[in-house]
Amino acid sequence: MKHLATKLALTALTLTGVSACNPHGRNTTKLQYMPDMADNPTAKTQETYLNPPDGAVTINAILYPETPELAEQELRNPFGEGAQVSRDVVNNGKKMFDTYCAVCHGPDGKGKSLMGDAYPLAPPDLTRPDLVARKDGFFFFRISNGANLMPAYAHSISPHERWQLITYLRTLQVQPK
């Protein structure tokens, strides 16, 4: 029995010593199971990690204006600005608004919501006269690129859905105050 215990102890010490040996020296890099989790890209505020390298343009890129003022001048809502639109477009826009916007801007777009009070800058009232006077391209730019504390939603909401959302926003803006 004594010999068995001694043999087991020696075996354990030998295995421990063998496993601790590194034939390549002490400064070798170990393989990582999921290296992308350890070396993931970092994103700054208001920046998406999906941005391509500077100067890169894909062959199917849609190049949007660089400022909200240019977007307001150049972009047109395919559903028409102020025109009569189908109920499906408005309903889909409402779904997008309720999902992405109402959390901060409130269900009526007036900037009053549970989340809106949590931030130092209150979300703007989207039914203000100065915002009602803005063209749809301005809102498309803001939804796509974000502003102040609002994140960019270009990666989450397709261009088609953004235009539907803006079409629904216009219905909120014409409702009686």
- What are the chain's domains? 68-173 (1.10.760.10)
User: For residue 60, what are its two tokens?
Assistant: 């199917």
The separation between CA 34 and the C-alpha centre of its own chain, rounded to angstroms, equals 24
In this predicted structure, what is the pLDDT of residue 132? 87
| Average pLDDT value for residue range 104-119 | 78
In this predicted structure, what is the pLDDT of residue 89? 86
Name the pTM for this structure. Answer: 0.64
| Average pLDDT value for residue range 127-138 | 90
Burial class of residue 29 (count of CB atoms within 10 Å of its CB; 0-12, 13-18, 19+): exposed
Q: Given a cut of 60, is residue 29 above it in pLDDT?
A: yes
68-90 in b/e form (b: 16+ CB < 10 A) is beebbeebebebeeeeebeeebb
In this predicted structure, what is the pLDDT of residue 121? 77
In this predicted structure, what is the pLDDT of residue 113? 77
Which is more confident, 2 or 141? 141
User: For residue 83, what are its two tokens?
Assistant: 């025109």
Q: Given a cut of 70, is residue 176 above it in pLDDT?
A: no
Q: What is the rounded distance in angstroms from the CA atom of residue 15 to the CA atom of residue 10?
A: 9
Which is more confident, 18 or 43? 43
The separation between CA 71 and the C-alpha centre of its own chain, rounded to angstroms, equals 20
Q: Is 169 left (phi over 0), alpha (psi -120 to 50) or beta?
A: alpha
User: For residue 29, what are its two tokens?
Assistant: 């890099």
- The residues, ordered by sequence, that sit 6+ positions from 155 with a Cβ below 8 Å of its Cβ are 48, 50
User: For residue 14, what are its two tokens?
Assistant: 């030998």
In this predicted structure, what is the pLDDT of residue 162? 92
